[in-house]
Amino acid sequence: MAKSYENEHPIKAFGWAARDTSGVLSPFNFSRRVTGEKDVQFKVMYCGICHSDLHQLKNEWGNSKYPIVPGHEVVGVVTEVGSKVEKFEVGDKVGVGCMVGSCRECENCSVDLENYCPRQIPTYNGYSPGETLTFGGYSDIMVTDEHFVVHWPENLSMDAAPLLCAGITTYSPLKYYGLDKPGMHIGVVGLGGLGHMAVKFAKAFGTKVTVISTSANKKQEAIECLGADSFLISRDPEQMKAAMSTLDGIIDTVSAVHPILPLLSLLKAHGKLVMVGAPEKPVELPVFPLLMGRKLVGGSLIGGMKETQEMLDFAAKHNITPVIEVVPMDYVNTALERLLKSDVKYRFVLDIGNTLKATN
Ligand SMILES: [Zn+2]
Ligand SMILES: [Zn+2]
């Protein structure tokens, strides 16, 4: 059983929570911690609905701690700052992504890779020091250590909240694996919340982008709306054969189990296949195609705080925003049902600021 905070914030918090594995959300009254010396308190304006919210609400990863207030794509406005806060002032626009704490002293933390800290504290469904449960952005206020808060660029629309998870999840591997060089040819597998952001960032880096999908359904949209250069249907052997050894890298966003041999065949020598989706079961890894061409299969998880800020500034400069459907708070259960059926282009964003109404 999670404990409550020793020092609760005098202003009560309100949000929507799931109480059990049904994953159904309903209104929930709770308390945040009092704003500490290094904390920023902010009013939540928008929060994206991420596919991982769905998994955790229903305990599909087996680690859910109820009640769960989801939300890790959170954008808001600062309402209070602690006495030692250096980076923020009341009134600043801010964002909080997938984590709200880390050890701050390990090998990873010391090089701005808090996302790989073994003691990283997730924004929700995790424990703060003191054993209190963390609650996410499907709520009216948040209190977060300033180190895990980013500045929201002035010319970036506040409802572009999915940049904080879907955005950084695709930006970071393109940079880290060197797949951001103009003239490269990049494949993006799966055109959902993550995939559509991968296309936009890869295009902004000046690469040629091919979307790889099981059906032709999304072809027109990928090319006309998202700016992809070409579209490849993975179930069409002719097309796949013609595209063999043409890609420098692939960002694979699919979270269902799927064969990766066809993808490895698309890579040039030294090509890199980067997985950012998380299939529940292991995928089969054919080694022979890796040897033939010194290819690499890697993974990547969100990004550190410094890189998250860099990504937001880049997005603002290049006018990169997610394609979203903004919905009111009381639509959340319907939105989750539709997300389960992939019935959204490409991300739902909850309009918390205008539609979350406290009830007692
Ligand atoms: Zn997410
Ligand atoms: Zn650490």
Closest CA to 312 of 139, 79, 75, 120: 75
Dist. CA 301 → ligand 2 center (Å)? 15
Residues 266-315: tens digit of each pLDDT: 999 999 999 999 888 888 999 999 999 999 999 999 999 999 999 999 99
State the average pLDDT for the chain. Answer: 95
When pLDDT is averaged across residues 65-91 and rounded to a whole number, the result is 98
- Is the Cβ–Cβ distance between 122 and 100 less than 8 Å? yes
* Phi/psi of residue 332, nearest 5 degrees: -60, -40
Instruction: Extract the tokens encoding 124.
Output: 């929700």
Sequence-distant (6+) residues with CB within 8 A of 17 are: 25, 26, 28, 30, 66, 67, 68, 69, 135, 138
pLDDT of residue 197: 98
Residues with CB under 5 A from ligand 1 (ion): 50, 52, 165
If pLDDT is split at 50, 70 and 90, which confidence band does 3 have?
confident
Separation CA 76–CA 356 (nearest Å): 13
Apex 312 CA angle, 311 and 318, nearest 5: 85
Cα of 98 vs centre of ligand 1, distance in Å, is: 7
Q: Is 230 left (phi over 0), alpha (psi -120 to 50) or beta?
A: beta
Say how many Å lie between the CA of residue 52 and the centre of ligand 1.
5
Read off the pLDDT of each residue in 329-358 and give the average, rounded to a whole number: 95
- State in Å: Cα 105 to ligand 2 middle: 5
User: Which residues have a Cβ under 8 Å from the Cβ of 193 and sit 6 or more positions away?
Assistant: 50, 51, 162, 166, 322, 346, 347
Q: ω before 346 within 30° of 0 (cis)?
A: yes
Q: Provide the pLDDT confidence category of residue 154 given band limits of 50, 70 and 90.
A: very high
Residue 20 CA, ligand 2 centroid: distance in Å: 31
Distance 118 CA to ligand 2 centre (A): 6
User: What was the pLDDT predicted at 360?
Assistant: 58
Question: In angstroms, what is the span from residue 181 Cα to ligand 1's centroid?
Answer: 26
CA of 237 to the centre of ligand 1 (A): 33
Residues with CB under 5 A from ligand 2 (ion): 102-103, 106, 109, 117
